Every structure is written in C-alpha cells, then in structure tokens.
C-alpha cells in the first residue's frame, strides 16, 4: 500500500480541424455572435474522417506517460472515460493500452458522461493507494459524431478532444485526491441522452435519424442542475480536504458553458485569477475538458508542491462530483 498518490504526468490532444462559430451560425441561421454570447465558445475541434476515439486518445496518453517518467511495463491499470467508444463492444481501453505498449495493464472503459474523468480519477487514486502501482487515466470523446448538425442546442456546444494523466504512489502526505464528493440523480435521467443504440431502444431499420444524436430536452434545467450540483459537491470536497476558497490555487471546472462555471466560481468565492478555462477555443468535449484544461494550465505553469486544485463537473445521468487534488 502507498501512503497517497501523486499526479506525475499530464497530456492533451485536440484535432487539427478548427470549426469557428461563423461556420455554425451560417448553417443554423443564427446571428453573428449568438453562440459566444450564450456559451463563451468561439471555436471547437472536430476529428478528421476515419479517425476514431482511440486515435484521439493516443497522443494525449503518450504525452502523459512521457511526462511521468514511469516505465510502461509498470502501468498497472488504464481507465478510459468516454461516451463515444470505438465500438459498442468490445471496450476501447484494452485497444488503447495495446497501442500504447502497456504489456501488464488492466484496462476498462468508464461511461460517466461529462463527470467521467472525476469518477475515473477517484477510482485510480484508490487503486494506487491500495496497490502501490501507477495508473493511467484518459478521458476522450468524439462528440462531433453524436450531435445533430441542425440542432442549435447541441451543435454549438460539443467538440472532440482528449486529456490524460498518470497517478503514481507517493509517500508524502497531502497529495493525490484529498477531498472527494461524487453524486448522481437518476430522476434527471432524461435531460441529456442519445435515445437509440442501447438495450432500451436498439438500432433497427425503423430507427429515426434524429434518435442516433444527442438531445438536450431542457437547457434551462441542465443549467440549474449543473450550477447547484457543482457548487454543492465542490463545497463538500473542499470541506473533506480541510481547505477554504483562499487555499484553492487552480479551479478547473468542466467546460460546459462559461455562465455555468462562472456562477459556480462566484458561489464558492473563488478568485477569478485561479480559474482555468479552455472553452473559448476548444468547446465542450465532455469528460475530456477537465484533464485537457489541467494539462493546458500545467504547460503554462507547472503545479508547485503544496498546490490545491479543485475539479468539478456534472454530466448526463445526471452524474456529478468534485475532487480536490494536492500536489
């Protein structure tokens, strides 16, 4: 067993194809500036034709492994948080681990929607502490293939990207996940969904074209639930970690919408300068947004010993939570 875990490597990757708001606004008949005013997004990235989830995840994972300095043979587990696997079956994590050359790694997909990275990170932290072995955590999504291109609610938000990190055993106190609060609310199960493709509504010749795409039934309800849940979970995680707003050095929320995470930041009393945001240029890639943004922040200023980083998200299901990471 290890005393704690420590995040020792980060990586991120976004496709080359940049899709600016002007392209979507022209297609959807929206006035110039409509998308940015409502979401904070100016552009997003889409994968090229023929690219799949593991193609997107691979470069981010490679970066995290290289940064960690840990031998690939020592990675004991690979957790892949995604809502858009290469196939419905088999899971994509074993293929990703194989392509990365991880000869002894277990591998499994986690479907936690936008909160998936938080769940994967919490599980990884527990595994590292219990087993004393490193874990690779990857979050990636190809949401450009799951949006209705003529639906202004979803088409303007979602994007493709990947983020990754490596957790390793540590003998220092106060590192790794030091505060956690995870939650769900199945009463809101229908708010965000892709109707067809599961056992409830299998694909068939009668499947309506729109049923294969993501739908958001009530945007106002999603906003309210996200702000309330992210705020409550963040407060609980901070309390468990024994820290206050002034101790948080970086706030890395799920990049759903600037209005959502700014409302959460104000509710928590966090300083504007600690907010990490990549939404303007990269949009909302669901579970990938937190590790992607954390990696971008670390590129600009590597985390210092003693830093406390707050992560929080809400996604379809509804699933949600918050973690405090110590460095």
Catalytic residue among 114, 165, 233, 257: 114
Whether 114 is catalytic = yes
Angle between helices 219-241 and 258-268 (to 10 degrees): 40
Catalytic residue among 21, 141, 257, 284: 284
Catalytic residue among 21, 165, 233, 254: 254
Catalytic positions: 114, 254, 284
């Amino acid at each position: 067993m290890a005393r704690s875990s420590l995040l020792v490597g980060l990586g991120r990757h976004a496709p080359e194809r940049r899709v600016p708001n002007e392209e979507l606004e022209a297609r959807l008949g929206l006035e110039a500036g409509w998308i940015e005013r409502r979401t904070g997004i100016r552009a997003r990235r889409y994968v090229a034709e023929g690219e799949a989830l593991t193609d997107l995840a691979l470069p981010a994972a490679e970066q995290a492994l290289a940064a960690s300095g840990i031998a690939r043979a020592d990675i004991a587990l690979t957790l892949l948080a995604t809502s858009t696997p290469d196939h419905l079956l088999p899971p994509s994590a074993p293929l990703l681990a194989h392509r990365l050359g991880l000869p002894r790694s277990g591998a499994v997909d986690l479907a936690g929607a936008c909160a998936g990275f938080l769940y994967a990170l919490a599980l990884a932290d527990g595994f590292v502490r219990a087993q004393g072995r490193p874990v690779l955590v990857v979050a990636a999504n190809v949401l450009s293939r799951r949006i209705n291109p003529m639906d202004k609610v979803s088409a303007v938000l979602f994007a493709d990207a990947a983020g990754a990190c490596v957790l390793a055993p540590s003998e220092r106190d106060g590192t790794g996940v030091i505060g956690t609060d995870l939650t769900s609310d199945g009463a809101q199960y229908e708010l965000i969904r892709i109707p067809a493709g599961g056992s409830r509504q299998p694909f068939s010749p009668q499947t309506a074209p729109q049923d294969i795409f993501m739908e958001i039934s009530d945007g106002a309800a999603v906003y309210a639930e996200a702000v309330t849940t992210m705020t409550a979970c963040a407060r609980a995680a901070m309390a468990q970690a024994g820290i206050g707003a002034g101790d948080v050095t970086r706030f890395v929320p799920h990049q759903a919408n600037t209005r959502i995470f700014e409302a959460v930041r104000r509710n928590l009393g966090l300083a504007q300068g600690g907010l990490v945001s990549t939404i303007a240029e990269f949009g909302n890639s669901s579970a990938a947004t937190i590790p992607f943004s954390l990696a971008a922040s670390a590129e600009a200023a590597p985390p210092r010993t003693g830093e406390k980083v707050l992560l929080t998200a809400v996604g379809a299901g509804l699933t949600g939570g918050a973690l405090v990471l110590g460095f």
